[in-house]
Chains A and B, each alone.
Chain A
């Protein structure tokens, strides 16, 4: 994971106003925890279960983004289970959703597979997919943010 990607996640956490955001890409995992109204987000890089290669460099405090007011119109769609993220119903098929696409409640956004249980994750609000936070085929944790949806 690059510093730019981490910076993007910090911006996302700041925009949404959420307290904590955890994202894994490959074997790198970043958890961003916002100190309550204190300004600079805190970044924690916990050890992964498997032995991971050297973690991505942690941004130094001066790289912390400008503070923005919490964006109440951004909603995070989180994984209800530990599993593998799939963007499409089968390999090679079109993704369930694209960034920029408008979705309605009940629209399937992705599948999380856990032990051959395919869990369809549906949109709970109307909005536009602002960003996708995990890569196809990547493992995700319980509560991990999958998509940011801008409500309309």
Chain B
């Protein structure tokens, strides 16, 4: 993203503080302690954060790496997944799938990841979208992909900020309905899920009223997934 790109984004959202760093350790760290509405974007992250100790591969100028400070809302993480997938569809014309709760998937691989840290009265959402990477480190090759041909990060960021505002204003019931419609993982999908006492396998059976994923095991019992890695069975 160039200085003129970030100016283009700022013009779309007057009144919001949007910081840009060519290189930073982590946008999550930069957003800590800021007020709701704040946005920070980086050309590269040298220590990009993922879920619970995972890192986020953030090579220079090949992805959109940003953190948004938001007011906490119910089912926020599901709303952010929907917003990210919609932003990619609008700005890049690429239709993605959603893997519960909010991995944005393209061709069975992860193209965008979202992490939210709730601290005090604000939620900090870290969103990484792989734009133009053509190769990933060996350990990610089977798991990660990018939009490949599309590199206008500013246009995606503009769409993303707009869609995040829109989806975080929706009723939780609408978010659950929209997510169930948009995600092939919500219902009828064979999955394996890492749980504290081992991996379970079953078929997804929709979301409960809180947005948790119901997985029906082959013995007919249901397990409610509140956190943890969900992946397609056989992958």
Q: Give me the interface of A with B, judged by CB distance under 8 Å.
A: 26-27, 49-51, 82-84, 86, 89-93, 111, 113-120, 122, 135, 137-139
Contacts and interface: CB of A to CB of B under 8 A. Distances in A.
Given A27-B197, A49-B222, A90-B52, A116 B117 contact: no
B123 to A, nearest CB: 7
A120 B221 contact: no
A74 B197 CA distance: 31
B119 interface: yes
Contacts of A139: 196, 226-227
Contacts of B42: none
Interface string B133-175: 0000000000000000000000000000000000000000000
A137 B123 CA distance: 22
A49 B118 contact: no
Nearest to A119: B118
Interface residues of B, number: 32
Interface SS majority for chain A: loop
5 smallest A-B Cβ distances: which pairs? A90-B53, A115-B101, A84-B227, A113-B227, A51-B221
B196 A118 contact: no
A137 B223 contact: no
A32 B144 CA distance: 46
A118 B226 contact: no
B184 interface: no
B227 A116 contact: yes
A119 B227 CA distance: 12
Nearest to A50: B223
Contact of A115 (B78, B197, B219, B221): B78
